[in-house]
Amino acid sequence: MTKVSEVAQRYVLVLLVVAFLAGTAFGLVGLGWNVWPVEWTGNAGPADLDAHWQRSYLTMAAEAYMATGDAAAARERVNALTGPQLTEAQVAAELQTMIGERTAANDTGAVSRLQALATVLGTPPSSAPAPGTSTQPAVPRDTTSLLQRLLRVCGLVILVLVLLAGLLLLVYFLQARSTGGAAMGSAAGDDDQEDHEEPAIAPALAAASTPVVAPMPAPPRPVAPPAQAFRPEATALGPFVATYNLGDIDFDMSFGIESATGDFLGECGLGMAETVGGGDVQRVTAFEVWLFDKTDIRTVSVVLASSHAHSDAALRTKLASRGEIVLAQPGGSFSVKTSSLKLEGRILDLAYGSGDVPAQSYFTTFSVELAPVPLLAGQR
């Protein structure tokens, strides 16, 4: 599995949100507003009627004129049929066609009403359209500019490219953040390993270079046993050191965990769990040490509480949901475990502050050493 796919799996929610926003922008701005915009036609009028209903409209206009004798209203009704698709001459020709049809059908009442309407329009009643004359409205030409369509397509392509570039930058940023934390942790682990190995190598070299000059060796001098120190297992990846100082805003230090071959195993770190008091400076009364295992897809943690937080019942109840609560003491050790990883830790140093809050309630400095250990099949 590559690092990009590992980061994508860890931040799948972020990628889904970015994809949703990109799809919304593409569909709304690109397609909805540019390629296929909504076209409003407005309210329909008599000129928008079908040819059959336009004839019915003329018949009703003739009947209304015969009943009222209002020539102005009759002309206004007939003129409502005219527009870009139907001229006044075409309306008059259609009216003469209707007179001819009613004459052939011996409908004298309808012929008289239509002839009266034609007289109002100023059309001689004897004039009739020539046979074969078409009264179909002209088809409007598409006035959409080709250049406008090309500009819309180009703008859509540029929008898609910008969104893809932003998505790639987001993935690259998340990957750099993950690998950068792992590199810092590995460097700290190498320096600490050299410090542990030097005392063991020096006595061996001294013993090998000392010649035997006396037949009776002197009695060996008693050597004091070494002080008990935190020794992570031989297979530990790290250790990492996380240090907090009063004034660090939203403190949260993380380290990437990788195998010897460079495979991503998970992450661990130290962050603020709870603060106390007010003011501009965050005063931390409890820290949270967390361990993420990619094979377990979960994060487990332990809370390192100050003396005040450890003894306060309300704070303990509030912090209980985060994990096991451990009293923070210099040299104290703790551990958390997932299905395939175990994190062993030791508190290197801590110091309390004072002021308008209870004694030993917040830290001015806090430093821990974290050593992740991969678990074998028999240890899980």
Residues 27-51: pLDDT tens digits?
Answer: 777 677 766 777 766 667 777 777 8
Looking at the structure, do residues 115 and 251 belong to the same domain, yes or no? Answer: no
Pick from 136, 164, 194: which residue ends a domain?
A: 194
- Residue 155 is predicted with a pLDDT of 77
Residue 106 lies in a domain: yes
- Contact between 264 and 6 under an 8 Å Cβ cutoff? The reply is yes
Asked which of 179-188, 219-228, 363-372 is least confident by mean pLDDT, the reply is 219-228
* Residue 77 lies in domain: 46-120
138 is a domain residue: no
Predicted model pTM: 0.41
Helix axes of 146-209 and 3-10: crossing angle, nearest 10 degrees: 110
Q: What integer pLDDT is reported at residue 304 of this predicted model?
A: 96
Q: Is the pLDDT of residue 269 over 90?
A: yes
Does 180 map to a domain?
yes
Q: What is the per-residue pLDDT for 189? A: 54
> End of a domain among 103, 120, 137?
120
Are residues 189 and 172 part of one domain? yes
Residue 218: CB atoms within 10 A of its CB come to 6
> 272 and 178 in one domain?
no
Which is it for strands 284-293 and 363-374: parallel, antiparallel or unpaired? unpaired
Higher pLDDT, 91 or 209: 91
118: left (phi over 0), alpha (psi -120 to 50) or beta: alpha
φ/ψ (deg, to 5) at 212: -90, 115
Position 62 in a domain:
yes
Q: Which of 194, 222, 251 is the last residue of a domain?
A: 194
- 235 within some domain: no
Is 187 in the same domain as 314?
Answer: no
Mean pLDDT of the chain: 77
Residue 244 and residue 361 in one domain = yes
Which of 271, 367, 276 has its CA nearest to residue 328?
Answer: 367
Kindly tell me the number of DSSP H helices and DSSP E strands found in the chain: 9, 9
What digits encode the pLDDT tens for the residues 294-326? 888 778 999 999 999 999 999 999 999 989 999
CB distance 245 to 362 below 8 Å: no
Residues 187, 300: one domain?
no
CA dihedral for 223, 227, 233, 238, sign (positive or negative):
negative
Structural domain contains residue 210 = no
129 lies in some domain: no
Residues 175 and 245 reside in one and the same domain: no
User: Do residues 64 and 154 share a domain?
Assistant: no
Q: Are residues 359 and 262 in the same domain?
A: yes
- Residue 257: per-residue pLDDT: 92
Check residue 19 and give its pLDDT. 82
Please state the domain count of the chain: 3
Residue 236 has pLDDT above 50, yes or no: yes
Instruction: Grade residue 4 by pLDDT with cuts at 50, 70 and 90.
Output: low
Query: How far is it, in rounded angstroms, from Cα 95 to Cα 82?
Result: 13
**Up-side HSE of residue 334: CA atoms within 13 Å toward CB?**
26
Judge whether 297 lies within some domain.
yes
Q: Are strands 341-352 and 324-327 parallel, antiparallel or unpaired?
A: unpaired
Closest to 291 measured CA to CA, from 305, 321, 262, 270: 270
Closest by CA position to 83, among listed 143, 41, 138:
138
- State whether 92 and 9 are in the same domain: no
The tens digit of pLDDT for each residue in 144-173 reads: 566 777 777 787 788 888 888 888 777 777
On whether both 258 and 362 belong to a single domain, the answer is yes
Residue range 216-240: mean pLDDT, rounded: 54
Region 269-274 average pLDDT? 94
Reply yes or no on whether the pLDDT at 140 is more than 50.
no
Judge if 312 and 265 occupy the same domain. Answer: yes
